[in-house]
Structure 1
Amino acid sequence: MQNLTWKIISSTYIHKGPWATLRKDVCQMPDGRVVPGYFVLEYPNWGNAVAITDEGKILLVRQYRHAAQIVSLELPGGVIEPGEAPEDGIKRELLEETGYSFNDIEQIAVVYANPATGNNHTYCYIAKNGKKTNAQNLDAHEEIVVEEYTIAEVKQLLAENKIAQALHCTNLFYALMKLGELK
């Protein structure tokens, strides 16, 4: 198989922040050509979950997303903290955002938002048999409304393009396939 991997000659950080870091890499391609400036966005890894309650409802969260300036219907999830196991991170995020606890959690995919410019990935989970055990414990700048939907309603939301977050759509499709709900 042909080697397609680039060698990093040097990296320079342009901006370092808690949610996004920008670096400039100088790279050498396998044939020797040099790429003098390839910009990479470093983000933390994320997790999200198709969270199904013990009544069989899927939990979705509605919140404002400032970069796109939309109110977005999404899966619960968020940043996997440094040193945190991804499964522990998604359990924490589910509890914080929804107040639900899940013991039956399965990783069903790992996807990249945009591997051309970003280095992080998203862990996709399906969580079953959720029970409301706590109140929400939101971050200072979060306002999240938790909503419950049947599988049929979620399929209709997808069909009508009502879920804008691409990584969440991806997880929903993987979960629906695993549940035998794609026909």
Structure 2
Amino acid sequence: MPDLKWEVLSSEYIHRGPWATLRVDQCRMPDGRFVPGYYVLEYPNWVNAVAVTVDQKIIMVRQYRHAASIVSLEIPGGVLEAGETPEMGMRRELLEETGYQFDNLELLSTIYANPSTADNLTYCFLATGGIKVQEQELDAQEEIIVEEYTIDEVKQLLADNKIAQALHCTTLFYALMKLNALA
């Protein structure tokens, strides 16, 4: 198989921020062609989970997403903090966003949101055995409504295109496959 990887000749940072950093790379392709300016978004890594309670309900969260100007129905998740493993970050996010604690956490897949423009990974989990142990502990700019759905209701939400976040649809697919609930 031919080598397709580009050689990075230089990188220049255009913007550095807590949630996104933008750099421009100059690269050389394997055949020698020069790429004068390839823009890359650097994001922190993310985690998300299909969270199933002890009574077999899937926890979903509803929140406003300003970039798309939509109220989005999603699965719980967020940004990994410095020093956290994906499992630690997922447990923290579940507790903060939903107030639920989970017995089991299984990594289903590791995916890229958009490897053509962004460098971060998303760790996708299946969390089971959830029980409510506390109230939400939201960040200053978060307003999250916690909702519970049956597996069949979530499948219908997907079929009706009511879940707009692509990474969450992907995680739901892997989780439903793992739960033998795709049929």
Band of TM-score, shorter chain: over 0.9
Who is 2:98 aligned against? 98
Write the letter of the residue equivalent to 1:40. Answer: V
* Structure 2 counterpart SS, 1:89: helix
Equivalents in 2 of 1:42, 1:171: separation in Å? 22
* Structure 2 counterpart SS, 1:68: coil
* Structure 2 counterpart SS, 1:117: coil
Q: Where does the alignment leave 5 or more consecutive residues of structure 1 unmatched? A: none
The C-alpha deviation readout for 1:52-71, integer Å capped at 9, x for no partner, is 00010000000000000000
For residues 8-157 of structure 1, the aligned pairs below 5 Å read: 8-157=8-157
* Structure 1 counterpart SS, 2:49: strand
Write the letter of the residue equivalent to 1:171. Answer: T
Percent identical among aligned pairs is 68
* Structure 2 counterpart SS, 1:138: coil
* Structure 2 counterpart SS, 1:81: coil
Equivalents in 2 of 1:29, 1:97: separation in Å? 43
The C-alpha deviation readout for 1:118-156, integer Å capped at 9, x for no partner, is 000100000000010011000000000000000000000
Who is 1:167 aligned against? 167
Write the letter of the residue equivalent to 1:10. Answer: S
* Structure 2 counterpart SS, 1:87: helix
TM superposition score normalised by structure 2: 0.99
* Structure 1 counterpart SS, 2:176: helix
TM superposition score normalised by structure 1: 0.99
Write the letter of the residue equivalent to 1:105. Answer: L
* Paired positions, count: 183
Equivalents in 1 of 2:38, 2:83: separation in Å? 28
* Structure 1 counterpart SS, 2:117: coil
Q: Please state how far the C-alpha of 1:103 moved relative to its aligned partner.
A: 2.2
Q: Where does the alignment leave 5 or more consecutive residues of structure 2 unmatched? A: none
Runs ≥4 in structure 1, deviation > 4 angstroms?
none
Write the letter of the residue equivalent to 1:60. Answer: M
Q: Please state how far the C-alpha of 1:89 moved relative to its aligned partner.
A: 0.2
Equivalents in 2 of 1:39, 1:179: separation in Å? 39
